[in-house]
A and B are shown apart, each in its own frame.
Chain A
């Protein structure tokens, strides 16, 4: 199922000021089943909150913590930091939504 969505997030605002205009990216779940075109994303929003909202938009379980991975660099985004500080907006970035699964105990 390929999904197109409405605006996910509004233009950039942060607790410490305006980071500029919102940006746009594509997000997919790890299976590639869902594809979301996220527009007008607020750059100051913590990546973890964006990940949870994307998971809800894709009807993925909400009792699972989700993380975002930048497909261009392969890096996982720090959930505490602003998404706009971690993703370059110039080249139509694509992010993958990944469940934060841990193997083994503890």
Chain B
């Protein structure tokens, strides 16, 4: 697979380490009253869809950025690649 890195252009997926569902960006607040249930869900449960899946790829053998890749799990076709930093900031996180 070729991942079209927003900063570096097309890169071989072998340069990346797969980190799982992009929902892992949304780490629960440990002080929330529902924190225990939220962390169980965060740590263990997955949507695991067939079809479009937003997921984290870490450019370990490259610029060490995290990317959010939208990819079809039935065809491996990649629809969109974003910097995870931008995604996190767009959700109101500081970084």
| Interaction A to B | no
